[in-house]
Amino acid sequence: MMSASTDGWAAGATPGTDAEYASTSRLDDLRAAEYRHLDAGGRTYLDYTGSGVAAEAQIRAHARRLTGRCYGNPHSENPTSRASTELVERTRAAVLGFFNASPDEYAVVFTPNATGACRLVGEAYPFGRGSRLVLTGDNHNSVNGIREFARARGAQVVNLPVRGTELRVPGGDVRDALARRRGLLVYPAQSNFTGVQHPLEWIDLAHAHGYDVLLDAAAFVPANRLDLGRVRPDFVPVSWYKMFGYPTGVGALVARRAALARLRRPWFAGGTIQAVSALGGWHVLAGDETAFEDGTLNFLSIPDVEFGVRWIEDIGIDLIHRRVARLTSWLLHRLTGLRHGAGSPMIRVYGPDGTDRRGGTVAFNVLDRHGRIVDERIVARDTAAGGISVRTGCFCNPGAGEGAFGISERALRDRRTLRGGMRTLDEYLDLLHLPSGGAVRASLGLVSNVADVERLAAFLEEAYGDREPDARGLKPRERC
């Protein structure tokens, strides 16, 4: 996790004079050689929490593999099938090695994405009356959806809201929630909204109270080391495109074998069974991780994951972490330093204003000279026109948004709010008296550089400093 020591910029200091940032210069060379498309056309990419960026080497490797020989559908012994199976199994081993996970303890289940991994757990976890699902308030909606499986089976669902200016979940709240019953604790290693990094020590705490743990690592692992030889969550969903940009359509559930054995799948599919009878009405699932891989795997793309993790290993996850940490500190420094002419702040940051226990995801709103929030749709429109890729909205993380905007649970549960003639998302926001439908998110990654941060800061200052935002022509909000 990022250290507080990365903060603090003396007057006149810049990353150009900073030794720690200079120690990551290899990443600038890598960007010039393998990520030239990032700088084509004068565009700026600051949406690494949305997706990583692929290197040219990844695309070359994919093309070489597919033009070098023929690969067929696995689940057979013919030569093309065996060739695909060999690459899939090599990729499983590479993933376990990357996370320092013992193959005796952990298995890799390939899924379409992290969302698919979460659904696998949710639909098969043995929820029931007397059990609990404990969710932190800043989970992604792909994780929040697990609550529907829990509720349907009579389990109690507990949500622990984010609190304070840093929008963290207090450790005491977690301990109190785990003191009752047994079940599943679900939380993100890093919030995709605020960048808050929650304690990995909660894993052992949960285990000590008889809980399993699903650790959403999708936003964490692109720039942070996750050592499954040191911390041992039961389920870890990941999306590979968030780590290294390519391939899309492939994720994984890295799971403890003992935890997988406790799951009870509600159905079976091709590739998941050892034996089945149509007339007899019975089936026996496969005895390994393939019992959770429905149908034909994406066998032409899964080997790209092996290349991707080797790519990150060669670069060094600690080097990436150091670059992202220092740039995050500079981004926060630049954003919080923006002022209107009379001295009022231009930016309101949500979450920690330093890099202690936070990642490279920074959510904020632009403020006009009167201190009012500038509609996030205006910022989305203007930054897009300026060739800057940031993300706006609630980022599929309603709990963090509710905490950021100070929306009370009472207001959210008020039936008059929900039934007061609301037909659109904008009407819902009006009923809650919200000044905006979300925030702006800038996120840093593998080959981000100072120029990316400076361009965003300069754009915001030029576009909104002492100016009245132009709200004409905004489209209605369609979803959050």
Cite the active site residues.
396
Number of residues assigned to the chain: 480
Give the C-alpha separation, 338 to 357, whole Å.
24
Give the C-alpha separation, 102 to 256, whole Å.
9
Residue 33: its H or E element: helix 26-34
How do 156-160 and 131-136 pair as beta strands?
Answer: parallel
Decide: helix, strand or coil at residue 427.
helix
Per-state percent for the chain, helix, strand, coil, to nearest 5: 40, 15, 40
Give the C-alpha separation, 304 to 95, whole Å.
12
Give the C-alpha separation, 9 to 332, whole Å.
11
* Cβ-contact 204, 213 below 8 angstroms: no
Give the C-alpha separation, 222 to 336, whole Å.
25
Q: How far is CA 39 from the centre of its chain?
A: 25
* Cβ-contact 287, 279 below 8 angstroms: no
How do 347-350 and 361-366 pair as beta strands?
Answer: antiparallel
* Cβ-contact 71, 469 below 8 angstroms: no
Beta pairing partners, 108: 254
The 8-class DSSP code of residue 401 comes to H
Angle of helix 317-337 relative to helix 26-34, nearest 10 degrees, comes to 100
Residue 85: its H or E element: helix 79-98
